[in-house]
Amino acid sequence: MILSKYCASGNDFLIFHTFEHKNRSEYAKKMCNRFYGIGADGLVVLLPYAQNSDEKGDEEAISELDSKQIAYQWEFYNSDGSIANMCGNASRAVTLYAYHNNIAGLKHNFLSKVGVIENNIQNIKSDKEALVQSNLGKFSFEGSFVESRRENLYDFELIVVGIPHLVCKCESLREFDGLLDDLEFLSQLRHKHNANVSIAFRENDVIHYATFERGVEGITQACGTGACAVFASFREFDKSYTLIPPSKERLIVSSKNSEIYFAGLVSLVATCVV
């Protein structure tokens, strides 16, 4: 089997395409292990688009999906083998993979568990690197929470961008760094609310952020849906923002027609024969 390793703004994924539908949770755990496998934040499988049984009972849904000219559908696995409904950076990584492997063009759509994802390769930098934008669709605000930690109170907001994120907007870089170092607290919140936990600090039009991700169970170098949830939390939808994750690679996030778009670099790291 040939696995391609792609990196999207610091988030790395193993990707392949096949015609076979099956559960690959154990395979994902094995291959994503950074000591005994290849190492990655997730495994992505591209499959031919096929209407499932739920869609067959809804002619309107079938018509809507067909009108969007879906190039393929995917299965996404976290590094712990769990299945995730969505991963923003992986959506950009598979876009470049599909283009490299002649599965789809520069602009195309694919089907995820949260719906159709629109993608656009905006600028090809080299034969291995490109600037890729994804439209993650609509988002929703699901409530606010106050959490306490060591006599400090923190305001969190639950925002769903395909998957749920608890977002905390820090008032200072010191507060941001303090939360970033407190992995025990972030892990507690992740399990308490069954959500990713994103923290952010804004300096003018630049937002520094980090996400403690479900399935990875730690801070990742970048999180696409986390960037979009943080962007939404500021509620300034007429602006575009530069978001900087721990990888220090810049993501450009904007909104149009109540949908969130984000763009960043994607690169092919290696092709592995296993």
Question: Which CATH number goes with the domain that contains 38?
Answer: 3.10.310.10
Contacts of 99 (CB under 8 A, 6+ apart): 105, 106, 121, 130
Q: How many domains does the chain have?
A: 2
Catalytic residues, by residue number, are: 87
> Would you say residue 257 has pLDDT above 90?
no
* Rounded Cα distance, 47 and 198, in Å: 31
Residues 113 and 145 in one domain: no
* pLDDT the model gives residue 137: 87
Residues 114 and 8 in one domain: yes
Give the relative orientation of helices 224-234 and 88-100 as an angle to the nearest 10 degrees: 130
* pLDDT the model gives residue 239: 86
pTM of the model: 0.85
pLDDT tens, position by position, 111-164: 998 889 999 999 999 999 999 999 988 899 999 989 988 888 999 999 999 889
Residues 95 and 215 in one domain: no
What domain range is 158 assigned to?
A: 140-257
Contacts of 244 (CB under 8 A, 6+ apart): 206, 207, 208, 209, 250, 251
* pLDDT the model gives residue 65: 52
Residues 123 and 21 in one domain: yes
